[in-house]
Structure 1
């Protein structure tokens, strides 16, 4: 998992979480602006419900990270190099979300989901390859999921911390902007962050960083 050195890895995890959490907040407020709605605190929310949701987010992210950016990606990188391995991981991640999002059979939805989640999967796999650790990608993944699912009640667990109030129907262009901002624009920004904001770990750190 690349947990050593712990200080550096915790900083990478926290930075990743912060980056996608901020992006998710911006996307939700863009949606609220386009829909002329507002976010209000759920008066029925309890700390127990929040903790249960956070635990669900953590488990789901950890499962996906271990599956798509864990030992298999590491072994692929050793065998065929980073570029091909990252692409394979991204394609698998995109296909997986056809089923987790329930869009299999809807060709247009499948295309958008594949592009959006595939790009994000590429960014997280690239983060793994550059840092030689799962923790930056884990932070990026967890930051988005916690903010999207638990904070803004967009996940499968229902109404949580904030609720949308006063929504109006979007026009075609506004609907397209709202749809593409989270599914396309955010992954591109994360890719740029990985490209220009993250330094590649030195090769000699492999024996320590991949423990």
Structure 2
């Protein structure tokens, strides 16, 4: 919680020092329209993320079951952890810095710069620094996701919109299903998956379709959102 307070304080100082503005530029105040779009983007992203595991069940014959140690307190704590992590990344990679970049350099350059920072940050978070192949793979998706998230903010001037996309994807990928070997999850592998042989088409469908879905569907919805005037 302290890191969010510090980031918000730094954001306020930056926007006040450079423009005598305030944190209203983040668009964090819920409105009927923002919450409607928040729900849509969250659901689309969560379903796209979940489809990755449904495809793994179908092609790789993986089976999942509920974790034994689930408690209400543990679930709420993990949801808060995922929420805090996503909000931290949004404040760092978008937020006030993206707002000022849009104002100084224009929307296109600002979105690209923000996306590069977002991708590089994930090199560090994912622990792939130095492994060129892994760095390229991580950069490819996180840069594309960064473009979507930055464009969503630039279109709506509300951090709630990229947060909804980001949070929906991360919550399913990082907590609901076991995309990583460590940490707590709602679902866990019921048994070691059997060795199966699948075609290249099936492999790339399983690997890429969910990522393409979260990017393309959300982009179409963002594009249809009326451009909000810059605060």
Aligned counterpart in structure 1 of residue 57 of structure 2, from 32, 48, 69: 32
Q: How does 1:1-211 map to 2 (within 5 A)?
A: 1-3=26-28, 6-155=31-180, 158-166=183-191, 167-169=193-195, 171=197, 173=200, 176-177=203-204, 180-181=207-208, 185-198=209-222, 199-202=224-227, 205-207=229-231
**Over residues 88-114 of structure 1, what are the superposed CA-to-partner deviations in whole Å (9 max), with x where a residue is unaligned?**
111111111111001111111110100
SS at match of 2:64: strand
Inter-CA distance 37–155: structure 2 relative to 1 (3 Å threshold): closer
Query: Could you list the runs of 5+ residues in structure 1 that have no partner in the other structure?
Result: none
Residue pair 1:23, 1:186 contacting (<8 A) in 2 also: yes
Number of aligned positions between the proteins: 203
Query: Could you list the runs of 5+ residues in structure 2 that have no partner in the other structure?
Result: 1-25
TM-score, normalised to structure 1, is 0.86
Deviates more, 1:160-169 or 1:104-113: 160-169
**Over residues 60-91 of structure 1, what are the superposed CA-to-partner deviations in whole Å (9 max), with x where a residue is unaligned?**
00000000110000100011111111111111
User: How many Å separate the matches in 1 of 2:160 and 2:62?
Assistant: 35
Residue pair 2:45, 2:165 contacting (<8 A) in 1 also: yes
User: How many Å separate the matches in 2 of 1:43 and 1:101?
Assistant: 28
Residue pair 1:61, 1:142 contacting (<8 A) in 2 also: yes
Residue pair 2:50, 2:172 contacting (<8 A) in 1 also: yes
SS at match of 1:163: strand
Residue pair 2:52, 2:207 contacting (<8 A) in 1 also: no
**Over residues 122-143 of structure 1, what are the superposed CA-to-partner deviations in whole Å (9 max), with x where a residue is unaligned?**
1111111111111111000111
Superposition CA RMSD, Å: 2.2
Higher-RCO chain (CA-CA 8 Å, sequence separation at least 6): 1
Q: Which is higher, the Rg of structure 1 or of structure 2?
A: 2
TM-score, normalised to structure 2, is 0.79
Inter-CA distance 171–96: structure 2 relative to 1 (3 Å threshold): farther
